[in-house]
Each structure stands twice: as structure tokens, then as C-alpha cells.
Amino acid sequence: MTAFIKGAPATLDKALDRAGEILRTAKAPVIAGTGADIAGVRSAISLAQLIGGVFDMGGAALETRPMQQRRLMYTTPREAKARADMVLTIGDEAARYAAANLADAPKLGREGFQSKPRIIMCAGASSDSVRAAKALEASRERLPGLIGGLIAAVKGVPVANSHSGIAVADFKALAETLKGAQFGVIVWSPSDLDPMVAEALMMLIDALNASTRFTSLMLPQGDNARGVADAALWTTGFPSRISFAQGQAEYDPWRFDAQRLINSGECDAAIWLAAFRPVAPQWTGTPLLIALTGPGIAFGRPPEVHFSIGKPGVDHSGEYYDAAADGLISVTAPASDKLSAAKALDALALRVERRAA
């Protein structure tokens, strides 16, 4: 079965009818979700345009935030793994990433430094994720103090003692250690760090580049978040979060936050698109819900309309972000009878258009 109305099996036609009716009469619809493949995202954005809705999907807005900082330096997972002789992780996610992916010695880089063990330091991580790495005495709360102190120490300006509980001499030593890297990489995740801490990290990296090479590795958000951000950018010119309520695309990451709109009751209908994993929305608001997800999902309350869709790369071919490639890849899959997100959304758009005409 591919469609349900209020939890009861329905024909695809009836479900499309009901969903089309919801979208046509909605005053302020939102298209949200965890993510979809590029074709699904393109269709979701066209539909948002058609219904004058908001588009805010998954981690796309988080992927965008670092790109809007005062300064940003980053590299690819492959370069970090192959070349970094020194790694500093910030936060739990980064520490886990380094333990899983960066334990080996680097293979590229200046001769004489290849195959020497990589130095890994962790800050702001709880002890269980640190494992073999050297842990810096900085809890999450003390990260701003640590990074601020390091910026000063790297630049050679005096460091006050009270920042993070680390002694002045230790800052100096730590700064010298970092400066000793050939190709240092700070691993971090935008979902795990306050934006101001991320800004400070980039100040530190910029300061280190005065004498050596340092950059960062930004860990990706899941479910094709980078692909969602990409497709939104090239189709509308804007990063996620976007509203089409005024006709033209408008960009505002605060106003068009789907979670905020729904919880505050500002929106009356929502599409929830989760093509990769069966994840239900976490919001507390109660808009009329049209869900497009794979099987095995548990909703607190059955959606008004639910379309069962296939998984990109498994049930149908598609393009999406792949962590190994650190980019969009194209995956060919044998045809199945499962609806793709794009097909379901395009059918829905036709239903909205036809009734509107």
C-alpha cells in the first residue's frame, strides 16, 4: 500500500485528492522534513513555490551557517585523512569521528612527516568519546575560553589566567604544539558548536596560517543535508530557509524555521518529507500533516495523508550526498514499484494546479 488517509489505507488517487485539497486551502503551508534526494528536493521547492509555502528541510540551514561566517577555512575528509599530521577535535561528534576515521598515520604531505603517527587532541568532549586521543582540559562550557586563549597565544599576545582554567604557560606550550603542525585540521560539527565558538575557531585557524598550514573539517549533517542546501541554492539563489509566501523567494533563517513556525501556530498545514530514514516530526504544533516517508514510521497521531515512498539509491535511482565522496553522487538502482519523493510531490503539484485552474 502506498497511501493512507488518517491512518487508513486509501487509493493513491484519493490520497492525492485529499492532500491537494489541504494544500489549496492552507493559508500558510510549510514543507519540512529530514531530507530527500536532489530530485525530491527540487520537486519540494517547486511545490513550495506553487503553494506559496516555506521550505526548510533537515540540516540544510546548519550546513549554510558556517559558510556565512566572517572567515571559513575547511578541507575534505580525504585530505584530512591523507594529510593531517595534527588533529584537534572540538566536541563529542568530532572526537568520535577522529577515533573512527583518523586513527591511522597520514600518507601524504611533506616528506619525513609521512607515516609518523598523527597527533590527535580533543577538546570539549566527554571522556567516552575521547578514547586514545589526548584530552584537553576544556569542558564544553570552557571552549570559548580555550579557543580565545589559543588565539591570543598563537598571535603572541598576553593571555589572562582565568579563561578556562588552563595556565598561561600551558597555553603557550599548546600554541607551540599547534604551530608545529605541517597540515593541521580542526574537526568540528556545526550542529555541535555555538556559532560564536565556530567563528572563534576560524580566527584561530587564520592565526595559525600565519606560519603553517591549518584548516578545518566540518562534519556533514545527515540525510543529504548538503544536497538539500545545494539544490535550494541553485534553484532559488538562496540557502535554506526560504519562503515563497510573497511570490518571490525570500531568505530568512529565523522567520522561516519550520519548527518555530509550527510550534508557534503560524502555519496551518505541513508536508513532512523523510526519504532516507523513517523519522517522525518532533514538533509540538498540530498543523494538517501530509507525510511522505518510508515504511516503519511511528507517528504520535496519524497524518491527515501519508504517502509511502521509496529510499533513494535503493528503491529508485537518485543523486545525494555521500560521506565517502564528500559530495553528491549519482546512484543507479533497479526500478521498483515504490514511489519516489519527486514523483509523489510532482503528482501532488498537478493536483493542486488542476483544482486551482
Partner 1 sequence: MIHLKGGRVIDPANKRDAVGDVFIANGRIAAHDPNARYATIDVSGKIVMAGGIDIHSHIAGGNVNAARMLLPNAQAGQEPPEGQRFAGVCYPASETGRLYAQMGFTTVVEPAMNPQGAVRTHLELADIPYIDRGALAILGNEDFLLRLLREAPDGALLKDYVAWAVQSTKALGVKTINPGGAAAFKENVRQFGLDDVVPSYGLSSRAIFTALQRAVHELGIPHPLHLHTNNLGMPGNIDSALDTINAAEGLPLHLAHVQFYSYGKTKRGGFASEAGRLAEAVIANKNITVDIGQVAFGQTITISSDVLRQFSAREFANPKKWIVWDGDGNGGGILPYNYREKDAVAALQWAIGLELFLLIDDPWRVFFTTDHPNGGPFTAYPKILHLLMDAGERARFMDTLPPKALRTSVLKDLKREYSLYEIAIMTRAAPAKLLGATDRGHLGEGGIADISIYTEQTDKTAMFAAADYVFKSGEMIVKNGAALGRRMGQTLNIKPQFDRRIEARLQPYYAEHYGARPDIFAVPEGFAGGASSLFTEQACRS
Q: Scanning residues 253 to 292, which ones bind partner 1 (CB under 8 A)?
A: none
Q: Which amino acid is at 105?
A: A
Q: Within positions 40 to 59, which residues make up the interface with partner 1, using CB under 8 A?
A: 42
Taking CB under 8 A as the rule, which mask of x and - marks residues 155-174 in contact with partner 1? Answer: --------------------
By CB under 8 A, name the one of 173, 325, 350, 356 that touches partner 1: 325
Contact segment (CB under 8 A) with partner 1 among 162-170, 266-274, 278-286, 319-327 equals 319-327
Give the cell for residue 268.
496551518
> Distance (Å, rounded) from C-alpha 181 to C-alpha 189?
22
Q: What three-state secondary structure class fits 276?
A: coil
Q: What angle do CA 317, 223, 311 make, to 5 degrees?
A: 35
245, with CB counted inside 10 A (0-12, 13-18, 19+), is middle
- Check binding of 346 to partner 1 (CB under 8 A): no
Shortest distance, position 289 Cβ to partner 1, whole Å: 28
Instruction: Give the CA distances from residue 53 to residues 40, 46, 260, 309, in Å, rounded to whole numbers and listed in that order.
Output: 16, 10, 15, 22
- Residues 351, 45, 269, 19: what is their CA dihedral angle, to the nearest 10 degrees? 20
Task: Please state, as a whole number, how many other Cβ atoms lie within 10 Å of the Cβ of residue 98.
Answer: 28
Minimum CB distance to partner 1, residue 141 (Å): 28
How many amino acids of this chain bind partner 1 (CB under 8 A)?
54
342 binds partner 1 (CB under 8 A): yes
- Cβ neighbours for 280, distance < 8 A, ≥ 6 positions apart: 272, 274, 291, 293, 297, 298, 299, 300
- Of residues 319, 339, 348, 349, which one binds partner 1 by CB under 8 A? 319
Residue closer to partner 1 (CB basis): 111 or 141: 111
Query: Within 13 A of 287's CA, how many CA atoms are on the CB side?
Result: 32
Q: Which of 103, 108, 280, 314 binds partner 1 (CB under 8 A)?
A: 108
Region 80-99 residues binding partner 1, contact defined as CB under 8 A:
81-83
When asked if residue 209 is in the footprint of partner 1 (CB under 8 A), the reply is yes
Interface with partner 1 (CB under 8 A): 38-39, 42, 64, 67-76, 78-79, 81-83, 107-111, 182-183, 209, 212-213, 215, 229-231, 233-239, 248, 251, 317, 319, 322, 324-330, 332, 342
